Amino acid sequence: MCLAIPSKVIEVGEFEAVVDHGGVKKRVKLDLLAEPVEVGDYLLIHTGFAIQRIAPSEAEETLKLFEELIRATFDDEGPPVS
């Protein structure tokens, strides 16, 4: 099962990091990340491995896209729905 919620990095070692996942500290392996990880980063974790660094700013971008789609569609005079 995919863990949908990212975990925050609280300690970084050479090959592993410690993350806080909902108040639980977990050791995760960094083998699958090409870029270095820093304390405070958010990571997606899958079966004990970090699989992606999440940029919190991207969350803002996505929320903006929701707005844009809603606005664009309701402003759109385009072809009728059916």
Partner 1 sequence: MMKDLRFRDRAKAEELARLIERLAPAEPVKLVHICGTHEVTITEFGLRSLLPPQVEILEGPGCPVCVTPVEHIDEAVALAEQGHIVTTFGDMARVPGTRKSLEGARSEGADVRIVYSIADAVELARKAAKEVIFFAIGFETTAPTVAAAMLDGVPDNFSLLVSHKLIPPAMAALLEGEHDISGFLAPGHVSTIIGLEPYRIFPEKYGMPVVIGGFEPLDILYSIALLLRQLREGTPKVENAYTRAVGSRGNLRAQEVLYEVFEVTDHYWRGMGLIPGSGLKLREEFSSWDARERFSLKVKSNESLHPGCRCAQVITAKATPDQCPLFSKGVCTPRTPYGPCMVGEEGMCHIWHRYGGRPKL
Among residues 3 and 12, whose Cβ is nearest to partner 1?
Answer: 3
Q: What is the spatial distance between Cα 10 and Cα 38, in angstroms, rounded to a whole number?
A: 8
Q: Which of residues 30-69 bind partner 1 (CB under 8 A)?
A: 31-34, 42, 44, 46-49, 51-52, 54-56, 58-59, 61-63, 65-66, 69
Termini Cα distance of the chain: 38
Structure tokens that stand for 10 in this block: 């609280």
> Nearest CA to 9 among 48, 47, 37?
37
Binding residues for partner 1 (CB under 8 A)? 1-2, 4-8, 20-23, 29, 31-34, 42, 44, 46-49, 51-52, 54-56, 58-59, 61-63, 65-66, 69-70, 73-74, 79, 81-82
